[in-house]
């Protein structure tokens, strides 16, 4: 394997249930098409050959800081007000649109606002597939890694939108809280709105890094009621506590990755400090004195959401257990040398227990990187092709959302289960004050 690494080749592995989810195809000649989730995932996954000069996860991940090719995606933005009072505030959704003239200096490049007239007419009865995107930590619709996937999706005739986490992508914070790693409420509202506004459009989801964690939590919370038809996740950190401990074990993990992410979140905090300072639980000076990401989570996320420690927050927000409650086809792509979303946090055994998920890992690739010769990113190929092929070939009306067996074996005597594992048992309770 080391010999092939010299030429940039990465080993590709798949982890899955013994009986992967059956996929009913539109074409009755099923011999020419994949008929289960594993076959489809393998079918759309090309050989992983990366830039041989970027021969480990650190080099791949560092290369994201180097200016790369531009992939133009134009957006129109709409601000949504939260419908649920316990999640009060506004958030920004950017819709991919055709190229246009003009700019808005207050927004990311190639992004302007919808005017009221345009947005009132946005509804449609068409049957175009639509992709809902969740970005990574402190990112937004402008991130190049998600545009690598959006480009082939839009070129294939899809519609797409990006749900920007509150305060990200130059959006405003209108309440005293940022988003967190299990902030599923905004994507839930957007999916419901899309279903009402475009009643005939098949809906799909994709999440990157922290957005992948949020998306899996959302899918698990929705279960069999999920309105998305299928989803892809890339570089999901899965077990946030395990990832945090792994970062603190090494100099690079602590002084490069955790410090860089802490700095980016502290900048986001400063961009919205006037709004956040209205939250009496937050000690502004303590947040300003943080260095590492876990310190930011300790001093801001913990007090904001009522967690006593960052560890309690990580355990509650992790999506590794949520996987067992997912009831739509899910394709996960992950590099085993990812220095941020570390290998030890990947729920390999859970993927082997769930027919609804398939995990594809590569031995090289880093975090949201997978740089090929020429600057392309390998992961964009299986991610976009999975979605395109799924829509084109799978009979969405006949997809089964009920598991063949319950997650977990239950606890009991004489073959009778007295209790069973509930993967979505959450500790955080958000109540509306009377």
What is the set of active-site residues? 209, 338, 367
Distance (Å) of CA 332 to CA 212, 254, 401: 9, 26, 18
Yes or no: say if 220 and 226 are a contact pair by the CB < 8 Å rule. Answer: no
Say how far apart CA 108 and CA 77 lie, in whole Å.
10
Place of tokens 């300072």: 277
3-state secondary structure of 230: strand
CB contact at 8 A, 314 and 241: yes
Q: How many CA atoms lie within 13 A of 434 on its CB side?
A: 0
Cα separations (Å) of 224 from 11, 221, 324? Answer: 34, 9, 12
Within 13 Å and on the Cβ side, how many CA atoms surround 31? 1
- Is residue 155 helix, strand or coil? helix
Does the CA dihedral 412-414-415-416 come out positive or negative?
negative
Q: How many CB atoms lie within 10 A of CB 236?
A: 29
**CA-to-CA distance for 12 and 362, rounded, in angstroms?**
5
């Amino acid at each position: 394997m080391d010999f092939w690494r010299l030429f940039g080749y990465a080993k590709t592995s798949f982890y899955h249930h013994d009986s992967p989810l059956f996929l009913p195809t539109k074409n009755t000649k099923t011999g020419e098409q994949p008929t289960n989730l594993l076959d489809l995932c393998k079918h759309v996954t090309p050989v992983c050959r990366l830039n041989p000069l970027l021969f480990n996860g650190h080099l791949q991940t560092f290369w994201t800081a180097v200016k790369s090719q531009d992939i133009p995606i134009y957006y129109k933005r709409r601000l949504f007000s939260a419908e649920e009072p316990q999640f009060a505030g506004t958030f920004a959704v950017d819709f991919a649109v055709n190229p246009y003239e003009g700019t808005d200096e207050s927004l990311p490049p190639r992004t302007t606002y919808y005017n009221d007239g345009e947005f009132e007419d946005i509804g449609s009865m068409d049957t175009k597939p639509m992709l809902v995107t969740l970005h990574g930590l402190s990112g937004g619709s402008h991130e190049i890694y998600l545009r690598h996937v959006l480009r082939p999706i839009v070129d294939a005739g899809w519609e797409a939108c990006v749900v920007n986490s509150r305060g990200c992508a130059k959006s405003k914070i209108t309440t005293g809280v940022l988003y967190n790693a299990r902030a599923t409420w905004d994507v839930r509202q957007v999916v419901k709105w899309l279903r009402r506004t475009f009643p005939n459009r098949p809906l799909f989801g994709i999440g990157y890094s922290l957005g992948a964690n949020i998306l899996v939590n959302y899918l698990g919370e929705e279960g069999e009621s999920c309105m998305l038809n299928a989803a892809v996740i890339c570089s999901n950190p899965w077990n946030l506590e395990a990832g945090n401990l792994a970062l603190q074990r090494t100099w690079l993990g602590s002084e490069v990755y955790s410090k860089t992410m802490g700095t980016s979140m502290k900048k986001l905090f400063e961009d919205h400090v006037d709004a956040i300072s209205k939250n009496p639980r937050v000690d502004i000076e303590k947040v300003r004195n943080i260095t590492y990401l876990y310190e930011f989570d300790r001093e801001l996320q913990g007090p904001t959401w009522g967690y006593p420690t960052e560890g309690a927050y990580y355990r509650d927000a992790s999506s590794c257990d949520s996987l067992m409650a997912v009831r739509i086809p899910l394709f996960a792509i992950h590099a085993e040398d990812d220095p941020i979303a570390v290998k030890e946090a990947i729920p390999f055994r859970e993927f082997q227990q769930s027919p609804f998920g398939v995990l594809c890992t590569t031995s090289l690739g880093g975090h949201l990187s997978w740089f090929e010769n020429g600057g392309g990113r390998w992961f964009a190929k299986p991610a976009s092709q999975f979605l395109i092929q799924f829509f084109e070939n799978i009979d969405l009306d006949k997809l089964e959302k009920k598991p063949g067996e319950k997650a977990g074996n239950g606890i009991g005597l004489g073959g009778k289960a007295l209790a069973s594992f509930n993967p979505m048992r959450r500790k955080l309770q958000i109540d509306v004050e009377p």
